[in-house]
């Protein structure tokens, strides 16, 4: 009798495993189909580009909006790809980079700066002009300084040529709460900037040195881009922000203008066409589910080989 019970239990267990496998395979198939559909949607009109190779003379415009960071609409990848698309079109008389950015990653900003300089060297007949609307600060101005000219509004915020690193210190709070922080590291500086540990003076100096190095790179880039137009005043690279009107006086900008006025009066191609690439919804979904689908398919193959 006991043996029959054991056999029934084992049989029920096997049946349950089979049902679980069937449902697992079903959902893996749905996920895989969804990823394929996302790629299909992307290739059939869900692309990132807003224009289709214009054939009349025009001004190409690229938006740099928001925080400059990896994976954002203002990432180096998207902005650089947009720039390349604009430069390779022979009918684009010039490029306007419309900036509304408080800054962001110095690495991403530096990549765009270098790409603008590279493309300008290859296409000497196409001016690159930065038009600042609300703000071009920190990394936003870093990128703007690569342009041939910078136009602003009187009330734009321009500058912030500096570097910052934010953190907090909770050591006193832990003491009051009676909490002991325990950290094990291999490497004496591995826990550097841990907000729950006292800041070591040597580590503080090391971090400050890194920040100073990045600041020096920022200053060198601005000087390279702006040259003799910059007024030699100590406050210029202090991290101060100025209005657009004041930035013209300091040589940080060249004049007042908008996208339309610059296209019409400077580039002499009044028709403005947007070349800004945007993160594609289908591509984001495909990337998000792609890894999960791959893992699921691999796991399914492994299970099939077992059963």
Return the pLDDT at 48: 44
d(CA 143, CA 102) in angstroms, rounded, equals 11
Return the pLDDT at 292: 47
Domain that holds residue 28: 2-46+283-306
Question: Is residue 204 included in any domain, yes or no?
Answer: no
Mean pLDDT is lowest, of 109-123, 193-207, 212-226, for 193-207
Question: Is residue 16 included in any domain, yes or no?
Answer: yes
Q: Are residues 144 and 266 in the same domain?
A: yes
Q: Are residues 155 and 79 in the same domain?
A: yes
Q: Are residues 17 and 62 in the same domain?
A: no
> Which residues are bridge partners to 128 per DSSP?
95
Mean pLDDT is lowest, of 9-23, 177-191, 256-270, 289-303, for 289-303
User: In the structure, what pLDDT confidence band is assigned to residue 34 with cuts at 50, 70 and 90?
Assistant: low
- On whether the pTM is more than 0.85, the answer is no
Q: Are residues 300 and 266 in the same domain?
A: no
Q: Are residues 19 and 92 in the same domain?
A: no
Question: Is residue 225 included in any domain, yes or no?
Answer: no
Question: Is residue 172 included in any domain, yes or no?
Answer: no
Is the per-residue pLDDT at 38 higher than 90? no
Q: Are residues 118 and 264 in the same domain?
A: yes
Mean pLDDT is lowest, of 19-23, 55-59, 83-87, for 19-23
Query: For 89-111, how does the pLDDT look when each residue is reduced to its tens digit (9 = 90+)?
Result: 999 999 999 999 999 999 999 99
Question: Is residue 213 included in any domain, yes or no?
Answer: no
What backbone phi and psi angles, to 5 degrees, belong to 99? Answer: -115, 130
Question: Is residue 195 included in any domain, yes or no?
Answer: no
Task: Judge whether 85 and 275 are in contact, CB under 8 Å.
Answer: yes
Kindly state the average pLDDT of the residues 119-128: 95
Return the pLDDT at 298: 37
The CATH number that applies at residue 140 is 3.90.226.10
Distant-in-sequence, close-in-space partners of 160: CB < 8 Å, separation ≥ 6: 102, 103, 137, 138, 141, 239, 240, 241
Q: Are residues 148 and 250 in the same domain?
A: yes
d(CA 274, CA 206) in angstroms, rounded, equals 44
Q: Are residues 148 and 246 in the same domain?
A: yes
Q: Are residues 95 and 8 in the same domain?
A: no
d(CA 231, CA 244) in angstroms, rounded, equals 15
Return the pLDDT at 289: 52
User: What is the DSSP code (8-state) at residue 147?
Assistant: S
Q: Are residues 30 and 64 in the same domain?
A: no
Tokens of 13: 């267990």
Is the per-residue pLDDT at 273 higher than 90? yes
Q: Are residues 131 and 241 in the same domain?
A: yes
Question: Is residue 140 included in any domain, yes or no?
Answer: yes
- Alpha-carbon distance values, 89 to 53, 58, 108 (Å): 7, 10, 25
User: In the structure, what pLDDT confidence band is assigned to residue 17 with cuts at 50, 70 and 90?
Assistant: low
Return the pLDDT at 294: 45
Q: Are residues 35 and 123 in the same domain?
A: no
Question: Is residue 105 included in any domain, yes or no?
Answer: yes
Q: Which comes out higher in pLDDT, residue 228 or 281?
A: 228
User: In the structure, what pLDDT confidence band is assigned to residue 3 with cuts at 50, 70 and 90?
Assistant: low
Number of domains the chain is built from:
2
Using left for φ > 0, alpha for ψ between -120 and 50, and beta otherwise, residue 21 falls in alpha
């Amino acid at each position: 009798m006991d043996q029959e019970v054991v056999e029934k239990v084992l049989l029920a267990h096997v049946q349950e495993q089979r049902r679980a496998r069937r449902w697992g395979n079903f959902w893996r198939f749905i996920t895989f189909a969804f990823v394929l559909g996302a790629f299909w949607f992307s290739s059939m009109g869900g692309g990132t580009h807003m224009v289709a190779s214009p054939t009349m003379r025009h001004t190409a415009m690229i938006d740099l909006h928001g925080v400059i960071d990896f994976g954002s609409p203002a990432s180096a990848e998207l902005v650089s790809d947009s720039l390349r698309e604009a430069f390779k079109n022979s009918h684009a008389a010039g490029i306007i980079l419309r900036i509304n950015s408080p800054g962001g990653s110095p690495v991403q900003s530096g990549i765009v700066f270098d790409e603008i300089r590279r493309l300008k060297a290859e296409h000497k007949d196409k001016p690159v002009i930065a038009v600042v609307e609300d703000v071009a600060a920190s990394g936003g101005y870093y990128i703007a300084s690569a342009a041939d000219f910078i136009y602003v509004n009187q009330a734009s915020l321009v500058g912030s040529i500096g570097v910052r690193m934010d953190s907090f210190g909770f050591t006193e709070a832990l003491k009051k709460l009676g909490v002991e922080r325990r950290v094990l590291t291999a490497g004496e500086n591995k826990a550097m900037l841990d907000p729950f540990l006292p800041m070591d003076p040597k580590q503080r100096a090391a971090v400050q040195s890194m920040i100073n190095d990045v600041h020096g790179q920022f200053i060198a880039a601005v000087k390279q881009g702006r040259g003799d137009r910059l007024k030699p005043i100590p406050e210029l690279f202090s991290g101060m922000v100025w209005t657009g009107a004041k930035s013209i006086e300091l040589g940080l900008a060249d004049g007042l203008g908008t996208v339309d006025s610059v296209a019409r009066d400077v580039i002499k191609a009044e028709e403005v066409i947007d070349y800004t690439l945007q993160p594609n919804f289908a591509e984001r979904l495909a990337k998000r589910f792609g890894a999960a689908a791959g893992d699921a398919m691999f796991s399914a193959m492994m299970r099939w080989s077992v059963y």
